[in-house]
Amino acid sequence: DEWFPPFLEELKSKYRIDPGRIYLTGVSLGGEGVWDLAAKYPETFAAIAPVCGPTSRLNIPVNTRRIRHIPAWIFHGAMDKVVSVEESETMAAFLKENGADVTLEVFPGAGHSPFSQEVYGEQFLYEWFLTHKQTRFYENGQKRCEGSFMDGKKEGKWLYWYENGAK
């Protein structure tokens, strides 16, 4: 997966991309890619939305700790015979246990991915994405805050880390 950082940098060089508003979604194996990339690059994404994404090859306890700061809206068909809805249910449960902002939406009567038009063909997902802006959280739960200041003629930068709201 070393392809992703150069790919993202190329996109950033060609297009006006707000680095705090990078979202990730995918269907089926693309949904598995959402989980995988979010876990490998947790500092990159403002929100994720996997659709019928397999999780059986992921180390769920480790990965949920790495991505618990990324809001997730998980979609799955209740009648999916390719990827069991239990995989999404398990991931959602682990994320919730780790304090994540996660929603699992199961489409009753839907199979593997024919309902993706209900997800991508409407505005609600895009509107939800835009309510999220990425912050700098790291695997250990700490948040990195940084900025600059001007004090008279002195300029400087500040940086601090805090965990669970305490500096």
Q: Please, which pLDDT band fits residue 97 given cuts at 50, 70 and 90?
A: very high
d(Cα 111, Cα 83) in Å, to the nearest integer? Answer: 9
pLDDT value of residue 39? 93
pLDDT of residue 163: 45
Confidence of residue 87 (pLDDT cuts 50, 70, 90): very high
pLDDT in tens, 44-61: 999 999 999 999 999 999
H-helix or E-strand containing 104?
Answer: strand 102-107
Q: Rounded mean pLDDT of the chain?
A: 84
Pairwise pLDDT comparison (143 vs 96), residue with the higher score: 96
pTM over 0.85: no
Q: Count the neighbouring beta carbons within 10 Å of the beta carbon of residue 39.
A: 20
Strand (E) or helix (H) holding 149: strand 142-151
pLDDT band at 136 (very low <50, low <70, confident <90, very high): low
| Per-residue pLDDT at 162 | 44
119 to each of 29, 53, 160, how far by Cα in Å?
16, 14, 39
